[in-house]
């Protein structure tokens, strides 16, 4: 008896230490987030250089002033633009990458391996190498100051990483399913739509989450391609609060950063349960 | 599970179709940026760096302009300084620079060499742009090899921003014509009485070192290279390293940590050199009273100062040089615009705008008084060249001096590295 009890006490003490340790690490990790949340309720001169998490005298001015907009533009414009861009990117990546992946994974055509290698090779090209040639190209096509340069690539399966992810996933699906579909008279499109896509849901959800977050946070693309503040995304809008020449409005910037986080968090929370669900139910039943 | 899946995919299909269609529409709808409309209306693009506050003032000015010139529409775009130049560089390589843009002295020759800037002289001769009525010879500021590639919008000059309470406690009053020795004595006194460093560290500010060199008849740049020797810079940085060590200049570790707050408002130093029009920040950031003091001299007379300015430049590729000139003319001469812009980009460059705006705030009054004193005491000199690559030289100067002050590089190493980097930048 006594042996068991000391054993239990030992386990309990161990688990207590484990939890306290985890909480300590959590506090360190969460400190910057808490600082930002606290900072959004501080007056401007209290934000910079202060390590305090909690404001001494909380104010909501930073949030209330957001309603006035930035540079005569309501902030809902920035959010609308970002949301359009992010959702359109998600749709583009899901459709084009899954189609490309289907071809690579399920269809045997001449030069498949070479093309696949070339596609993976594009992952090695740094973004900044492509920036200027791409800009010149879109400039010649007179597509600057539209969302097309930011979206077109997404509809043409240029995100090699997502294609790769889906190819790997599709290769894991049992061949018997495609064969059964073909016996039932399915062509490639039908097999893609009715057999492969539903089974690929985890890969699709993963791609959707990453695409959404990337598009929402993208700064360089919108900076280069959009020429009117009315078309700006949230990430560009955030930069309008601070410049070396003037008095910086850190309060406004922090408040807007927090608001800007909400859609990303919401999107992740909405889809992550499918992610887990998908992994548990994929494959043969 | 299955029905759920089907519905998802069907609606997905609809969204896809919709968004592909939308993509096509946007592509078809918004081609071409600055073309003339059917009724003779012309649209010009105007870009600048700055933030929210400047944007509001500029929007108001443009509303006035469009009322007076109903056939010209102005579209604006703005970013913070660093992002502005990233974007501008990309646009320049694509041949898609905005019709009018904000410019600074360090970029004039760079973009003139790249054939980006329009010579506005022709428009001056055509009577679309007036060069009369500028203060203190500022109209010469935007000239490169006889070409007019920039029109000044507001003047500024280097100044010493001081924490007045700290200077009073140390019983130091900076006077025009004070010397570097007197300045360093003052810093030592501040260190004793206020318990903080005297200066935030002047050794990394290229424009201040330029003044120091000009006081000795040299300059930071010649038309094609550096106007000082390795020995000059070694001397400047050696002395600085000693003063950081002894605490006369602030500890760079602390000032870097305090960023973006300035070392003066963070109460780490009693004063620092900066552009006079940047001083607006100090009062809003710090708790003390802040004032502007004259630049120390070598011989008791020459400060080496000149009036600098932000400029408006036009793009060589603009299809509407006349309208662009009319717009620049309006922005620099119109008194109403002067009232709206205030001292946002320095003291207005033209007499008309300067007379129209009388600062009512403490900081504005100080800046006005400081520049008035500069003009009246006749210390202002001609500006020396800023060759292509000057912007890269400035950034390297700041970075290497910081590494030197932190002790991560020896002075000798930093000087050597600086000359290597500057030569590459200036020959490119």
Residue of B nearest to A236 (CA): B79
Q: State how far the Cα of A79 lies from the Cα of A72, in Å rounded to an integer.
A: 15
Interchain pair B86, A223: CB under 8 A: yes
Tell me the percentage of chain B whose pLDDT exceeds 70. Answer: 91
From B178's Cα to the closest Cα of chain A, the distance in A is 28
Asked if the model's pLDDT at residue A247 lies above 80, the reply is no
Q: Go through the domains of chain A in sequence order and give each one's CATH number.
A: 2-65 (no CATH), 72-281 (1.10.3720.10)
**How confident is the model at residue A271, as a pLDDT?**
85
Same domain flag for B179 and B271:
yes
Task: Choose from B54, B94, B342 for mutation: most chain A CBs within 10 A.
Answer: B94
**Which residue is listed with tokens 């946002």?**
B344
Averaged pLDDT for residues A175-201: 91
Interchain pair B54, A91: CB under 8 A: no
Q: How is residue B231 written in tokens?
A: 């020995």
**How confident is the model at residue B14, as a pLDDT?**
52
Asked if the model's pLDDT at residue A193 lies above 90, the reply is yes
Asked if the model's pLDDT at residue A283 lies above 90, the reply is no
Q: Could you report the predicted ipTM of this complex, rounded to two decimals?
A: 0.81
Residue B322 in domain: yes
Same domain flag for B230 and B293:
yes
Tens digit of each residue's pLDDT (9 = 90 or more) over B217-272: 999 999 889 999 999 999 999 999 999 999 999 999 999 888 878 899 989 999 99
Q: How is residue A163 written in tokens?
A: 């294609």
Residue B27 in domain: no
For the residues of B45-108, what is the DSSP string, one character each?
EEEEE--HHHHHHHHHHHHHHHHH-TTEEEEEEEE-HHHHHHHHHHHHHTT---SEEEE-HHHH
Domain count, chain B: 2
Residue B121 in domain: yes
* Partner residues linked to B156 by β-bridges: B308
Q: What is the pTM of this model?
A: 0.83
Tens digit of each residue's pLDDT (9 = 90 or more) over A206-228: 999 999 999 999 999 999 999 99
Which range, of A1-15, A213-227, B141-155, B334-348, averages the lowest pLDDT?
A1-15
Q: State how far the Cα of B294 lies from the Cα of B301, in Å rounded to an integer.
A: 11
From B156's Cα to the closest Cα of chain A, the distance in A is 12
Tens digit of each residue's pLDDT (9 = 90 or more) over B369-417: 999 999 888 889 888 888 989 989 999 999 999 999 999 999 999 999 9
Averaged pLDDT for residues A77-82: 95
The CATH number covering residue B268 comes to 3.40.190.10
**How confident is the model at residue B251, as a pLDDT?**
94
State chain A's maximal CA–CA distance in angstroms: 84
Q: State how far the Cα of B146 lies from the Cα of B148, in Å rounded to an integer.
A: 7
Same domain flag for B73 and B220:
no
Tens digit of each residue's pLDDT (9 = 90 or more) over B199-230: 999 999 999 999 999 999 999 999 889 999 99
Same domain flag for B321 and B274:
no
**How confident is the model at residue B287, as a pLDDT?**
85
Tell me the percentage of chain A whose pLDDT exceeds 70. Answer: 92
Which of A139, A246, A281 is nearest residue B53 as measured by Cβ atoms?
A246
Q: Which pLDDT band, with edges at 50, 70 and 90, does A276 fall under?
A: low
Tell me the percentage of chain A whose pLDDT exceeds 90. Answer: 61
Q: Is B413 helix (H, G, I), strand (E, B) or coil?
A: helix
Task: Choose from B9, B16, B52 for mutation: most chain A CBs within 10 A.
Answer: B52
Does any CB of chain A come closer than 8 Å to the CB of residue B35?
no
From A38's Cα to the closest Cα of chain B, the distance in A is 19
Q: Which pLDDT band, with edges at 50, 70 and 90, does A56 fall under?
A: confident
Does any CB of chain A come closer than 8 Å to the CB of residue B11?
no
Return the higher-pLDDT residue of B428 and B113.
B113
Q: How is residue A79 written in tokens?
A: 């959010």
Return the higher-pLDDT residue of B18 and B248.
B248
Phi and psi angles of residue B413, each rounded to the nearest 5 degrees, phi first: -65, -45
**How confident is the model at residue B51, as a pLDDT?**
83
Same domain flag for B296 and B322:
no
Asked if the model's pLDDT at residue A50 lies above 90, the reply is no
**How confident is the model at residue A279, as a pLDDT?**
53
Please name the helix (run of DSSP H) or strand (run of DSSP E) that holds residue B270, with its range, or none: strand B269-275
**How confident is the model at residue A18, as a pLDDT?**
94
Tens digit of each residue's pLDDT (9 = 90 or more) over B31-71: 344 455 567 899 999 999 988 888 999 999 999 999 999 99
Q: How is residue A57 written in tokens?
A: 């005298």
Residue B171 in domain: yes
Q: State how far the Cα of A75 lies from the Cα of A27, in Å rounded to an integer.
A: 32
Between vectors from CA B50 to CA B48 and to CA B51, what angle results, nearest 5°?
A: 130
Same domain flag for B264 and B214:
yes
- For chain B, the straight-line distance linking the first and the last C-alpha, in angstroms and rounded, comes to 64
Residue B363 in domain: no
Asked if the model's pLDDT at residue B30 lies above 50, the reply is no
**How confident is the model at residue B91, as a pLDDT?**
93
Phi and psi angles of residue A228, each rounded to the nearest 5 degrees, phi first: -130, 130
Q: Which residues, at least 6 apart from B6, have a Cβ–Cβ distance to it below 8 Å? A: none
Averaged pLDDT for residues A195-203: 90
Q: What residues 97-136 of chain B have any CB closer than 8 A to a CB of chain A?
A: 98
Averaged pLDDT for residues B344-359: 92
Return the higher-pLDDT residue of B170 and B278.
B170
Tens digit of each residue's pLDDT (9 = 90 or more) over B280-328: 788 878 889 999 999 999 999 899 999 888 999 999 999 999 999 999 9
Q: State how far the Cα of A230 lies from the Cα of B79, in Å rounded to an integer.
A: 13
Same domain flag for B301 and B313:
no
Same domain flag for B175 and B245:
yes
Residue B365 in domain: no
**How confident is the model at residue A285, as a pLDDT?**
42
Residue of B nearest to A46 (CA): B285
Tens digit of each residue's pLDDT (9 = 90 or more) over B279-293: 878 887 888 999 999
Residue B148 in domain: yes
Same domain flag for B257 and B109:
no
**Which residue is listed with tokens 């073309």?**
B35
Nearest Cα residue to B42 out of B77, B71, B62 = B71
From A3's Cα to the closest Cα of chain B, the distance in A is 51
The count of other CB atoms within 10 Å of the CB of residue B254 is 15
Between vectors from CA B172 to CA B169 and to CA B173, what angle results, nearest 5°?
A: 120
Residue B323 belongs to domain spanning: 42-153+309-357
Same domain flag for B109 and B241:
no
Which range, of A270-284, B134-148, B384-398, averages the lowest pLDDT?
A270-284
Average pLDDT for chain B: 88
Q: State how far the Cα of A65 lies from the Cα of B235, in Å rounded to an integer.
A: 50
HSE of B261 in the Cβ direction (CA atoms, 13 Å)? 23
Residue of B nearest to A49 (CA): B258
Interchain pair A229, B86: CB under 8 A: no
Same domain flag for B263 and B387:
yes
Nearest Cα residue to B374 out of B221, B156, B168, B123 = B156
Phi and psi angles of residue A163, each rounded to the nearest 5 degrees, phi first: -60, -45
Which of A49, A95, A240 is nearest residue B52 as measured by Cβ atoms?
A240
* Overall size of chain B counted in residues: 428
Residue B15 in domain: no
Q: State how far the Cα of A214 lies from the Cα of B415, in Å rounded to an integer.
A: 42
Same domain flag for B131 and B239:
no
């Amino acid at each position: 008896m006594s042996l068991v009890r000391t054993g239990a006490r030992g386990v309990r003490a161990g688990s207590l230490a484990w939890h306290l340790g985890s909480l300590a690490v959590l506090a360190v990790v969460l400190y910057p987030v808490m600082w930002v949340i606290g900072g959004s309720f501080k007056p401007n001169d209290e934000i910079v250089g202060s390590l305090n998490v909690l404001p001494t005298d909380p104010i909501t001015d930073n949030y209330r002033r957001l309603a006035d907009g930035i540079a005569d533009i309501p902030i809902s414009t920035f959010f609308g633009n970002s949301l359009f861009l992010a959702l359109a990117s998600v749709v583009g990546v899901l459709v084009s990458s899954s189609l490309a992946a289907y071809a690579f994974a399920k269809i045997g055509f001449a030069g498949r391996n070479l093309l696949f290698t070339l596609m993976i090779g594009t992952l090695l090209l740094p973004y900044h190498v492509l920036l200027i040639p791409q800009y010149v190209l879109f400039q010649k096509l007179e597509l600057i100051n539209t969302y097309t340069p930011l979206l077109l690539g997404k509809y043409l399966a240029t995100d090699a990483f997502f294609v790769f992810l889906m190819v790997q996933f599709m290769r894991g699906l049992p061949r018997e399913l495609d064969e059964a579909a073909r016996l039932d008279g399915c062509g490639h499109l039908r097999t893609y739509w009715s057999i492969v896509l539903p089974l690929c849901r985890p890969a699709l959800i993963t791609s959707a989450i990453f695409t959404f977050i990337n598009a929402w946070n993208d700064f360089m693309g919108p900076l280069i391609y959009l020429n009117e503040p009315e078309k700006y995304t949230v990430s560009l809008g955030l930069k309008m609060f601070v410049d070396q020449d003037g008095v910086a409005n850190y309060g406004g910037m922090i408040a807007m950063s927090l608001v800007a986080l909400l859609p990303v968090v919401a999107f992740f929370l909405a889809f992550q349960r499918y992610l887990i669900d998908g992994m548990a139910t994929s494959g043969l039943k | 599970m299955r029905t759920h899946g089907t519905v998802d995919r069907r609606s997905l299909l609809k969204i896809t179709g919709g968004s592909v269609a939308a993509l096509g529409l946007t592509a078809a709808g918004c081609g071409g940026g600055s073309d003339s409309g059917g009724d003779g209306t012309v649209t010009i693009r105007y870009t600048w760096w700055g933030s929210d506050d400047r944007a509001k003032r500029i929007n108001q000015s443009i509303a006035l302009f469009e009322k007076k010139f109903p056939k010209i529409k102005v579209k604006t775009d703005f970013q913070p300084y660093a992002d502005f130049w990233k974007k501008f560089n990309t646009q320049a390589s694509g041949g898609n620079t905005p019709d009018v843009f904000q410019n600074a002295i360090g970029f004039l020759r760079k973009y003139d060499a790249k054939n980006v800037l329009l010579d506005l002289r022709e428009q001056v001769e055509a009577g679309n742009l007036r060069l009369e009525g500028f203060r203190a010879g500022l109209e010469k500021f935007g000239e490169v090899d006889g070409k007019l590639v920039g029109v000044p919008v507001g003047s500024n000059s280097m100044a010493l921003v001081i924490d007045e309470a700290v200077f009073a406690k140390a019983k130091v009053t900076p006077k025009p014509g004070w010397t570097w020795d007197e300045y360093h004595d003052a810093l030592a006194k501040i260190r004793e009485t206020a318990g903080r460093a005297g200066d935030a560290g002047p050794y990394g500010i290229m424009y201040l070192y330029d003044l120091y060199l000009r006081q000795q008849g040299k300059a930071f740049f010649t038309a094609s290279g550096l106007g000082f020797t390795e020995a000059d810079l070694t001397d400047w940085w050696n002395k600085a390293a000693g003063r950081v060590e002894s605490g006369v200049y602030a500890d760079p570790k602390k000032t870097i940590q305090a960023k973006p707050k300035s070392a003066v408002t963070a109460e780490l130093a009693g004063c620092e050199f900066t552009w006079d029009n940047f001083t607006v920040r100090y009062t809003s950031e710090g708790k003390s009273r802040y004032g502007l003091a004259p630049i120390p001299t070598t011989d008791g007379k020459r400060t080496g100062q000149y009036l600098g300015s932000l400029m408006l430049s036009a793009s060589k590729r603009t299809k509407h040089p006349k309208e662009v000139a009319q717009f620049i003319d309006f922005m620099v001469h119109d008194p109403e615009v002067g009232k709206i812009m205030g001292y946002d980009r320095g003291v207005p460059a033209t007499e008309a705008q300067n007379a129209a705006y009388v600062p009512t705030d403490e900081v504005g009054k100080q800046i006005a008084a400081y520049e008035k004193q500069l003009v009246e005491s006749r210390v202002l000199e001609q500006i020396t060249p800023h060759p292509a690559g000057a912007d890269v030289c400035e950034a390297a100067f700041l970075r290497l001096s910081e590494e030197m002050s932190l002790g991560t590089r020896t002075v000798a190493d930093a000087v050597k590295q600086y000359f290597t980097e500057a030569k590459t930048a200036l020959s490119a």
